[in-house]
Amino acid sequence: MSETTQPSTPETDSEPGRSFGQRILLENVTKRYGGQADAAVDDVTIEIPAGEIVMLVGPSGCGKTTTMKMINRLIEPTSGKIFIGDEDVTHRNADDLRRHIGYVIQGAGLFPHYTVAENIAIVPRLLGWKKDRIAARVDELLELVNLEPAQYRDRYPRELSGGQQQRIGVARALAADPPVLLMDEPFGAVDPITRQRLQDELLRLQEELRKTIVFVTHDFDEAVKLGDRIAILDVGSRIVQYDTPEAILAAPASDFVEGFVGHGAALKQLTLTRVRDVELHEAAVAQVGGDATAAIQDARAKGREWVIVLDDQQRPQRWVSVKELERAGSLTGISRDRDLEVVSTASTLNDALDEMLTSSHGVVVVTGRRNSYQGVVRVETIMQAMQQISSAAAEARPVEP
């Protein structure tokens, strides 16, 4: 039976999208650290379905990291079994196992004296891949995490921003195309805007890769946004509730869970709706180097004061007012506005609202694959979605006295 369930081998596991996720099963897993009365992880049983993102959420010290590190055997369980696919990995060679499980930690954990390419290449080198194959894989992964290979492959980690380092951390974890990714508060140390982008990118990647991802966080909003399922953990990694975000928001299993969900559950449901799920509108659009007169006419016909200018690959560059266009009379030499607010189709309405509240246009630009322009979201669209969500929630919930 296990012959057909593709335990990955170094020769076959490298092609992109080839190695989809495998189920993970923890069976009565316990970890006792020496000299402690209570188990750090106390008899945990949980099944993580293949190809899903499962979020482990719980207070500090409840055993999240210990639970995760037992899956790749950075920590040995005191008792219990752990399966990946059909294989009981508690008996597998631990070093070998770790080469087939991607691991991403906070701060990325890159080696400072290795270049980006060398960092990403670590596991493929351990697996004995040929040089050319490694180089090709490095470039492919850099593209995958939205970093221009020629520009980044020879840099050192200190020459990158925190968000870029974290992307390299993800690329490194994916290098040998493992079926399973373990992510331990990976986006905990970056600023909120970078965190949002990294979350969006992870979702976009996952649509293609379909890995099984175990993701630890103490941020319930992050769990709602990223998780196919959420396990809410109490001390000893005890599972208090394990369900979809929708189900947990609609019916928290206990006061403890309620405490995590917090107030404004209806508002939080905005985190459950993606930009791609709502109607996009057309902005007035122009091309860098295009015809300014036509752009002005187009904006006027649509009743718009602002035009979004795209480059030759349809990537939004900046908003330009009709007045500016009239004055300049040309669309040449328009450069990218580094502060241009955009969201992706995978972003949540919550993110879109955030961006909108700091922009002066009342809309936010939406990008899709390769950052290409898709349209705009209007504030009215978000308000409408919020109303629908809260009236649906009011119907679903019994009225409290």
Question: What does the binding site for Mg ion look like in residue numbers (CB under 5 A)?
Answer: 65
**How far apart are alpha carbons 270 and 347 in whole angstroms?**
11
Nearest approach in angstroms of CB 64 to Mg ion is 5
Residues 26, 40, 198, 322: which binds ligand ADP (CB under 6 A)? 40
Stretch that binds ligand ADP, among 7-15, 64-72, 298-306, 376-384 (CB under 6 A): 64-72
Residues 61, 192, 259, 362: which binds ligand ADP (CB under 6 A)? 61
Nearest approach in angstroms of CB 233 to ligand ADP is 7
Stretch that binds ligand ADP, among 54-62, 303-311, 359-367, 389-397 (CB under 6 A): 54-62
63 binds ligand ADP (CB under 6 A): yes
65 binds ligand ADP (CB under 6 A): yes
Nearest approach in angstroms of CB 172 to ligand ADP is 22
Q: Is residue 339 exposed (0-12), middle (13-18) or buried (19+ Cβ within 10 Å)?
A: exposed
Contact yes or no for 190/27 (Cβ under 8 A): no
**How far apart are alpha carbons 289 and 294 in whole angstroms?**
12
- Is the Cβ of residue 58 or residue 316 nearer to ligand ADP in the bound state? 58
Ordered DSSP codes for 366-397: EE-GGG-EEEEEEHHHHHHHHHHHHHHHHHHS
Where is 364: in which H helix or E strand?
Answer: strand 363-367
C-alpha closest to that of 98 among 130, 76, 113, 81: 76
Residue 307 contact among ligand ADP, Mg ion, none, beta carbon within 5 to 8 Å by kind:
none
168 binds ligand ADP (CB under 6 A): no
60 binds ligand ADP (CB under 6 A): yes
- Is the Cβ of residue 65 or residue 72 nearer to Mg ion in the bound state? 65
Where is 194: in which H helix or E strand?
Answer: helix 192-209
Residue 33 contact among Mg ion, ligand ADP, none, beta carbon within 5 to 8 Å by kind:
ligand ADP
Q: Which amino acid is at 324?
A: E
Question: Token digits for 108?
Answer: 């990325």
Q: Is residue 396 exposed (0-12), middle (13-18) or buried (19+ Cβ within 10 Å)?
A: exposed
- Is the Cβ of residue 106 or residue 372 nearer to ligand ADP in the bound state? 106
Name which of residues 130 to 149 contact ligand ADP (CB under 6 A): none
- Is the Cβ of residue 38 or residue 277 nearer to ligand ADP in the bound state? 38
**How far apart are alpha carbons 281 and 198 in whole angstroms?**
25
Residues 62, 168, 284, 299: which binds ligand ADP (CB under 6 A)? 62
First-to-last CA distance in the chain? 56
Site residues (CB under 6 A) for ligand ADP?
33, 40, 58, 60-66
